[in-house]
Structure formats: C-alpha cells, structure tokens
Amino acid sequence: MTTDRPIRVIVVDDQPLVRAGFVMVLEAQADIAVVGEAGDGAAALELLAPVPADVVVMDIRMPVMDGVEATKLLVERGDAPKVLVLTTFDTDEDAFAALQAGASGFLLKNTPPEDFLSAVRVVATGDSVVAPRVTRLLLDRFAGRLTPEPEPRDARLDVLTDRERGVLELVGRGLSNTEIADSLFIAEATVKTHLSRILAKLQLRDRVQAVVLAYETGLVRTER
C-alpha cells in the first residue's frame, strides 16, 4: 500500500441502509475512498475484476454468495485486497469460517465508528485485526466445530521453540501483544519478534491464521 493515495475500499452488504451507513462513515475520511459497493459476494467478485481495491468490508450472511465463499475465492486469486469481515455475534456462526477462508480480521457490526475506521486502516497495511475480547467469545463458541478431537501434539508445531509455542498459545487465547508480554515477563518488542518467526516458520499470513492454527492443532481448546 502506498501512502500517496487514499485507501480504496469496497463495501459488501445486502442491506442497502447498512451499506450506506458504512459508506458514509468511510467517505468522511480524507485518507479513505469508497470505490464500489455490492449487495452479495458474487457481485463483489465481479466488481473487483475491473476495480482495484485495498480492503473489502464484507458482510457474512448474504444471498447468491455469502461472505465466507466470496472471501475464499478472493484469497485464492493471489494478489487480492484484504478482507475485513463484519458480523453480528448473536446470529452469525460463520465468522470463524471466514477467518479460515482468509479474512484478515473481523468486527462486530455494533463496533464504534472510530474502531471500524482504525480496523480498515490496519488491515490496509497488511496487518490483521483480531480484537482480543471478541476473539475469546467467538473462538470459545465456534472453534470446537473445526475438527473432531485433535491429536495431543500436532507435527506442524514441531518447528517452533518452546517459547514460540507459548506465544502462539497465548495468541490463540486472544491475548494482545501487551498482555502476552506481561504474562511471559518479556518486552512487547520481543513478543513481536517471536510472532514474526512463528508466522514465517508455519507459513502463516497473519495473526488471524495463527489463531486458527492454534485451535486446529489442539494447542488451544474450547471449554465444553
């Protein structure tokens, strides 16, 4: 992402009034430009073919093609825009599936506008947005559906040091870098270094994928 132009955003939501609200909030920012809107995932994919974008704000539940499938197809394109999923926690049980599909983060639809705008900017830089408190809620509710009982030790984790495994476990539990540093009595910069190495060793794109892997491998388990 260059810094000499606005962040190009496409908003995808099947509810016109909701979509208009997001567009209004985004367009009020000098560093953000809405370059397109769509009412379902299929329309979003068609729109993104000729229209370049940096971030797609994606709803989950939509007709024709939902946000999970659209996210998966977008990510498979390779050099695709980042996807920021918006979900309603009480009804959307597909939020975790969207993260597995490759979304760079998720927010609840009742997120304050300033947090929403911050998330768009963070995702545009290539980072991910996983609000720790929301992570705990969503993963505790949905992650147990990913697989049957995982093996006690997954071979994918063998490339990590004990410290890196510990960091990954805390990431999976939804802790922020600051909270991990406090928990392990290390500097926050050291946490960032460990996380970078974890992502590189496990060939993960971002923190979101690290959270997913922590559950998939059984490093973190949901309470039953």
CATH value at residue 96: 3.40.50.2300
Query: Which residue, among 122, 60, 114, 117, has the nearest Cα to 91 in the 3D structure?
Result: 60
Amino acid, res. 204: L
Does residue 224 lie in a domain region? no
Q: Stretch 167-194: mean pLDDT, rounded?
A: 89
- pLDDT over 80 at 137, yes or no: no
71 has pLDDT over 90 = yes
Confidence check: pLDDT of 5 > 80: yes
Query: Does residue 121 sit in the same domain as residue 174?
Result: no
Confidence of residue 92 (pLDDT cuts 50, 70, 90): low
Which string of DSSP letters, residue by residue, matches the chain?
A: --SSSPEEEEEE-S-HHHHHHHHHHHHTSTTEEEEEEESSHHHHHHHHTTS--SEEEEESS-SSS-HHHHHHHHHHTSS--EEEEEE-TTT-TTHHHHHHHT-SEEEETT--HHHHHHHHHHHHTT--EE-HHHHHHHHHHHGGGSSSSPPSS-GGGGGS-HHHHHHHHHHHTT--HHHHHHHHTS-HHHHHHHHHHHHHHHT-SSHHHHHHHHHHTTSS----
Task: Give the domain range for residue 186.
Answer: 149-216
Asked whether residue 109 is assigned to any structural domain, the reply reads yes
Among 130, 158, 180, identify where a domain stops: 130
Residues 29 and 56 in one domain: yes
- What integer pLDDT is reported at residue 141 of this predicted model? 58
Residues 49 and 125 in one domain: yes
Asked whether residue 34 falls in the same domain as residue 121, the answer is yes
Whole-number mean pLDDT of the chain?
84
| Average pLDDT rounded to a whole number, residues 25-47 | 96
- Answer yes or no: is 178 within a domain: yes
Q: Are residues 206 and 105 in the same domain?
A: no
For residues 116-136, give the mean pLDDT.
76
The arrangement of strands across the sheet holding 129-130 comes to 32-38, 7-12, 55-59, 82-87, 105-108, 129-130
